[in-house]
């Protein structure tokens, strides 16, 4: 190899080194560090809030079912009582009518 070729190679190497250093100067690095503790207070707090909300919802559902269910039961009892009264009158007057027809016949 001649001295010119060696100098040309050294120039190319120096230019590539300078370009690499220039790219490195403009490179940005981001580092994120997360802590993963064994006891996470926020998640425990959130789970307690969710559990209390579920409890309040269950109590509300129970109270609604008891109160409105009782009212619905009362309406059903009144309905069947009216059916019974109507059936009683029909049976009474039907029996009277059948007895009257039987005695005439």
Q: Which residue has the tokens 């006891």?
A: 39
* Cα(90)–Cα(97) distance, integer angstroms: 10
38: helix, strand or coil: coil
Looking at the predicted structure, is the pLDDT value of residue 105 above 70? no
Domain map (residue ranges) of the chain: 3-104
pLDDT of residue 27: 66
With bands split at pLDDT 50, 70 and 90, how would you rate the model's confidence at 24? confident
Chain centroid offset of residue 48 CA: 16
What value does the mean pLDDT take over residues 24-39? 78
Looking at the predicted structure, is the pLDDT value of residue 74 above 70? yes
pTM: 0.44
């Amino acid at each position: 190899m001649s001295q010119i070729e060696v100098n040309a190679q050294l120039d190319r190497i120096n230019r590539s080194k300078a370009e690499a250093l220039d790219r490195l100067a403009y490179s940005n690095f981001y580092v994120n560090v997360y802590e993963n503790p064994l006891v996470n207070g926020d998640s425990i707090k959130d789970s307690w809030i969710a559990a209390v909300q579920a409890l309040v919802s269950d109590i509300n559902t129970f109270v609604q079912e008891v109160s409105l269910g009782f009212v619905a039961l009362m309406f059903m009892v009144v309905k069947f009582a009216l059916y019974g009264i109507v059936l009683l009158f029909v049976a009474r007057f039907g029996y009277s009518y059948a007895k009257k027809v039987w005695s005439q016949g």
